[in-house]
Amino acid sequence: MANTDKPAAAALTRRAAALLAARGCEILSEPGTTQAARLKVTVCETDAELAARADLLVVLGGDGTMLRVARDTAGSNTPILGINLGTLGFLTAASGRRLAAALDAVWNGGCLVESRSLIEARGAFAEGRVAELALNDFVISRGAVPRLIELEVHVNNEVLTRYRGDGLIVSSPTGSTAYSLAAGGAVVSPQAEVFALTPICPHTLSNRSVIVRLDARLDVRLCSERVETFLAADGLTRARMQAGEVVTIRRSRHSAHLVRLAGSSFFDTLRQKLNWSGSPV
């Protein structure tokens, strides 16, 4: 499975297929990748079908591709090996130039599989019912007009606060290094079972990111009228919200199973991707 918009995707996909075929593996693919890379393999019509039939999903792309695959294959226990063709690549296991080494490591047992919880959002809106999954985060934010929105947040039916600003990010542990980090949220270890609630440009300087248990129920009600407001899942707009409407966010029963190579860790990735050198300069 590949992000076919990446210039290197087709050639690297063909190389991955050749390396796996040399190991005696049966190669499966989905239509977009098959066509772009001109593969002669068994084609599965959907990502979900592919995950159900495969023993390993090799995903060539960046974090956005990994997020899409995690959502589309929710409910599958098939491990996902990410090969980075993007920029940061927090969710991938290796870069494109280390493709062969990564596949060798998987073949020889030099890897582990991490379970990352997905989160879900549900709501009954004027435009219809919404039920969405995300691996990183849900964001409730204003539209193009630069006006504040007001959001009331309840945690397990208890009022937390009302946020006034550009919006609110509700992130999983995996998503703490995405939009939440850019908005001033904390970096959370993927093994910490918590939500991070991070306001976007809050009008009250005392508003800060709040950490709550991952098994909590979060209800976010839009209080503002006449301000265009949207719900997004992993950066993709999913619904328009109107005043008085509530979106409920909680842990999903589904998880994504990400392959990590032996010797690597979340903290190694942080130091590398965020250029944490330990230097005082």
- Which of helix, strand or coil describes residue 240? strand
Please indicate whether residue 55 is annotated as part of the active site. Answer: no
| Range list of H helices, the chain | 9-22, 31-37, 47-53, 63-72, 99-107, 179-182, 266-273
Entry field: residues in the chain: 281
Task: Give the residue from 133, 181, 194, 140 showing the smallest Cα distance to 162.
Answer: 140
Query: Is residue 223 within 8 Å of residue 243, measured between CB atoms?
Result: yes
Number of CB atoms found within 10 A of residue 18's CB: 10
User: In sequence order, what are the residues at sequence separation of 6 or more whose Cβ sits closer than 8 angstroms to the Cβ of residue 123?
Assistant: 129, 130, 231, 239, 241, 245, 246, 247, 248
Query: Is residue 207 within 8 Å of residue 169, measured between CB atoms?
Result: no
The terminus-to-terminus CA distance of the chain in angstroms comes to 41
Q: Which among 63, 137, 166, 219 is annotated as catalytic?
A: 63
Distance CA 162, CA 214 (A): 21
User: Which residues belong to the active site?
Assistant: 63
